[in-house]
A and B are shown apart, each in its own frame.
Chain A
Amino acid sequence: MTKTADVLAFERNVTKALDDGQLRRNLRSAMTTLSQRRRALFADVEAFEKLRTQGQSIRRRALSRLPELLEQLEARCTANGIQVHWAETTAEANAICLDIIRRHGAQRVIKGKSMVSEEMHLNHFLEEQGIEALETDLGEYIIQLDGETPSHIIVPAIHKNKDQIAHLFHDRIPDAPYTEVVEELNAIARQELREKFRAGEVGVSGVNFAVAETGTLCLVENEGNGRMCTTAPPVHIALMGLEKVVEKLQDVPPLLRLLTGSATGQPITTYFNMITAPRRPGELDGPREVHLVILDNGRSSIYGDPERRATLQCIRCGACLNHCPIYTRLGGHAYGHVYPGPIGSILTPQLEGLDEAGVMASASTFCGACEEVCPVKIPFTEILRMLRNEAYARGESEHDVKGHGYRYTTVEALSWKSWALYNTSPGLARIGSQILGKLGQHLPMIGPLKEWTRTRIPPPFAPKSLHQLAQERGLDDDR
């Protein structure tokens, strides 16, 4: 996507989302509920701050030893019988999955919720190869039926209300009666999917934490579909971004608490599933093969810059989305990329390049709400500011973010240079402000002014500058 197409597409999406009254009502009630539940669980602010610092410390400790921990994880998993694969790109990760699926002659995979699989566009890829990829998380199932992508990283179908889902089920599921009763909708999905679990050929899941010390893959879920996908089929493929590793088993309890509490205000999910091995001799169920795919896809380059590394602390709780004034009004689809909201704004431009997704870094008011709620204390504003700067950094840039300098234009650079010169030369500033006072209303709208005034009404320039007014009052420059 070119930079103007990127910016324009985003603006079109924004307008569309803001005009969609139904979407805004659905979002408003959901986001309010989620943030209230979270606040209720972490009501003791002091205790929560301590826990947050602990979470931040655990994630940073893990990242500071990332290569060693990944090697340790691989060694432990391998010793436990889990087969470990590394993928530099999403294409490689897809190819690894396809190879495993083909080797088992499977026609269908059943999937638990995984944002990394979204990042890989795995479903689409498999379908092109003639393999059905069936989402089994209720929210994911709903949006898959409607040919959509998740609009939230925790509650993927949050943009839809029950009437919309009622119509969808009735239209798309053979013999499904029309009902708006949530329990009945739920029962329809349960029945549809149960058959698929029974017949399941290959299960695919994400990973919430991977414990290096034991080679254990941890999964958090409420529905039981994650357990189904990782227990019932003969083969299980787990997908993880390379940042998901933690050092010790004892690192898990605080992170689990932070994750479930921040996501939905629950003290714990219904299931916390810790997988350490494929079926061992004598055991009667569980997959005979477990594969772990470790995906880079740009993460190692984020890691390479200590100023940006904190991006990788994320435990994907979604709290920053639920509290963001922009996300809560737009929903996830307007962002046009897999990870929406504040985490998307810092992660996506780094993964896909500023030239592809740089506009996402502009989707922030810098209110800092994300920073206040993030359970692992990611410094959003610092990273956002840097990404915005990088967007204009031509040639060699300090942080070397992929696609940097994409917004650089000569007019813009010149404008800012003149602005700097103007402000650092008192004589020039004096003459300039006099001229602006008289002619400012007729400034050519180019460069940054053009951008700024596209959605704003330019304020009139005052006939006299503040400096002048002060002098007329008899104040001298030094006071």
Chain B
Amino acid sequence: MTANARANILSRLRATTTQGSFAVPDAPVIAGLALSLEERIDRLRRMLETMHAEVQVVSSSAWLGALKARLRARGLNGLLYGAETPLGAALEAAWEDDLPPLVPYSESVEQCREQLFHIDAGITTTRGAIAENGALILWPSAAEPRLMSLTPGLHIAVLEAGMIFNTFAEAIDQQAWLQEGMPTNALLISGPSKTADIELTLTFGVHGPKELVVFILT
């Protein structure tokens, strides 16, 4: 049935050779943003904050301290992390007993579904960010699976300031997404999950994280 469907659909689409009045207009050249690093950091921070993310711009040497200060005394039941990443190694080295326990995501979802849906927080790296729209770029991987930034109520994302691009188009281009090949799942994330489905009232924390904390490392 579907083999025929394919042939029928394609042959119908090919039946018209005339383009008639259907012309393709030239696309105008649009100059993208061209901000300095400082400006990109600033714009990204402002846009993320507008979307209720918490942003902390901090030096690479001080950020672990800042993270610990944030997590201490929050009574979280655990922090999901990727043990095989440099970030994971840094966390392990710096972790202390009075912090929520580090929980590695190391088994397939089928084995740890319950835990994934009950853990309070998750921490991930990012592949970059986009100043124009105020969004983080995540490429989940075997070392940092997809659900890490989705099921925990608190998502902490770590971003190198140098990886903030002006625009989405620039990120695709400079990070050579095409040449490198797309990952299973790539994501842009601009805040904690939200909805405006009831009377357009913006409410944060629906099915994804209720809180997004971003550390921008300078």
Judge whether B195 and A223 touch: CB under 8 Å: yes
Which residue of A is nearest B105, CB measured?
A284
Judge whether A270 and B193 touch: CB under 8 Å: yes
B114 neighbours in A (Cβ, 8 Å):
198
A61 neighbours in B (Cβ, 8 Å):
24
Give, as a whole number of angstroms, the nearest-CB distance from A318 to chain B.
13
Complexed CA–CA distance, A66 and B107 (Å):
42
With an 8 A cutoff between CB atoms, is A428 at the interface?
Answer: no
Judge whether A57 and B24 touch: CB under 8 Å: yes
Give, as a whole number of angstroms, the nearest-CB distance from B194 to chain A.
5
With an 8 A cutoff between CB atoms, is A257 at the interface?
Answer: yes
Which residue of B is nearest A248, CB measured?
B178
With an 8 A cutoff between CB atoms, is B26 at the interface?
Answer: yes
With an 8 A cutoff between CB atoms, is B78 at the interface?
Answer: no
Give, as a whole number of angstroms, the nearest-CB distance from B209 to chain A.
7
**A284 interface neighbour in B2, B142, B186, Cβ under 8 Å:** B142
Complexed CA–CA distance, A306 and B195 (Å):
39
Complexed CA–CA distance, A279 and B26 (Å):
39
Judge whether A198 and B184 touch: CB under 8 Å: no
Judge whether A224 and B208 touch: CB under 8 Å: yes
Complexed CA–CA distance, A368 and B217 (Å):
49
**A194 interface neighbour in B23, B110, B207, Cβ under 8 Å:** B207
Given known A-B contacts A285-B108, A300-B12, A57 and B190 have beta carbons under 8 A apart: no
Which residue of B is nearest A267, CB measured?
B133
Give, as a whole number of angstroms, the nearest-CB distance from A53 to chain B.
5
Among the 9-residue stretches A7-15, A155-163, A434-442, A461-469, the one with 4 or more Cβ atoms under 8 Å from chain B is A155-163
With an 8 A cutoff between CB atoms, is B66 at the interface?
Answer: no
Count contacts on A: residues with CB < 8 A to the other chain.
103
B198 neighbours in A (Cβ, 8 Å):
138, 142, 157, 160, 162, 165, 182, 185-186
With an 8 A cutoff between CB atoms, is A131 at the interface?
Answer: no
Complexed CA–CA distance, A294 and B18 (Å):
24
**B22 interface neighbour in A64, A189, A222, A277, Cβ under 8 Å:** A64
Which residue of A is nearest B7, CB measured?
A86
Complexed CA–CA distance, A157 and B201 (Å):
12
A54 neighbours in B (Cβ, 8 Å):
27-28, 30
Judge whether B182 and A214 touch: CB under 8 Å: yes
Complexed CA–CA distance, A160 and B200 (Å):
11
With an 8 A cutoff between CB atoms, is A303 at the interface?
Answer: yes
CB 8 Å contact bits of A240-274 with B (1 = contact, 0 = none): 00100000011011101100000010011111111
With an 8 A cutoff between CB atoms, is A92 at the interface?
Answer: yes
B34 neighbours in A (Cβ, 8 Å):
none
Given known A-B contacts A231-B185, A253-B169, A67 and B105 have beta carbons under 8 A apart: no
Judge whether A86 and B26 touch: CB under 8 Å: no
B21 neighbours in A (Cβ, 8 Å):
306-307
**B146 interface neighbour in A56, A194, A286, Cβ under 8 Å:** A286
Give, as a whole number of angstroms, the nearest-CB distance from B146 to chain A.
5
Complexed CA–CA distance, A223 and B10 (Å):
36
**B150 interface neighbour in A70, A228, A256, Cβ under 8 Å:** A228
Which residue of A is nearest B51, CB measured?
A270
Complexed CA–CA distance, A309 and B27 (Å):
19
A307 neighbours in B (Cβ, 8 Å):
20-22
Complexed CA–CA distance, A186 and B18 (Å):
51
A234 neighbours in B (Cβ, 8 Å):
110
Complexed CA–CA distance, A245 and B124 (Å):
31
With an 8 A cutoff between CB atoms, is A51 at the interface?
Answer: yes
**A253 interface neighbour in B105, B167, B206, Cβ under 8 Å:** B167
Judge whether A283 and B184 touch: CB under 8 Å: yes
CB 8 Å contact bits of A191-213 with B (1 = contact, 0 = none): 00110011000000000000001
A64 neighbours in B (Cβ, 8 Å):
19, 22, 24
Judge whether B207 and A193 touch: CB under 8 Å: yes
A250 neighbours in B (Cβ, 8 Å):
169, 172-173
> For window 17-57 of chain A, which residues contact chain B by CB distance below 8 Å?
26, 29-30, 33-34, 47, 50-51, 53-54, 56-57
**B187 interface neighbour in A58, A225, A272, A300, Cβ under 8 Å:** A272
Complexed CA–CA distance, A294 and B132 (Å):
33
B10 neighbours in A (Cβ, 8 Å):
67, 70-71
With an 8 A cutoff between CB atoms, is B86 at the interface?
Answer: no
Nearest 6 A/B pairs, CB to CB? A224-B208, A306-B20, A139-B197, A224-B193, A268-B133, A272-B188
Interface residues of B (CB under 8 A from A): 1-2, 5-6, 8-10, 12-16, 18-28, 30, 47, 51, 105-110, 113-114, 117, 132-135, 141-142, 145-147, 150, 167-169, 172-173, 177-178, 181-201, 203, 205-209
15 example contacts (A-B, Cβ-Cβ < 8 A) are as follows: A162-B199, A165-B198, A223-B207, A224-B206, A224-B209, A249-B177, A249-B182, A252-B168, A254-B30, A271-B187, A271-B193, A276-B185, A284-B145, A300-B12, A307-B22
Interface residues of A (CB under 8 A from B): 26, 29-30, 33-34, 47, 50-51, 53-54, 56-58, 60-61, 63-64, 66-67, 70-71, 85-88, 92, 95-96, 136-139, 142, 155-158, 160-162, 165, 182-183, 185-186, 189-190, 193-194, 197-198, 213-216, 222-225, 227-228, 231-232, 234, 242, 249-250, 252-254, 256-257, 264, 267-280, 282-286, 294, 296, 300-301, 303-307, 309-310
Q: A158-B200, A224-B207, A253-B168 are in contact. List 8 more A-B contacts (CB 8 A).
A: A29-B199, A71-B10, A86-B5, A92-B1, A186-B203, A186-B206, A222-B193, A253-B167
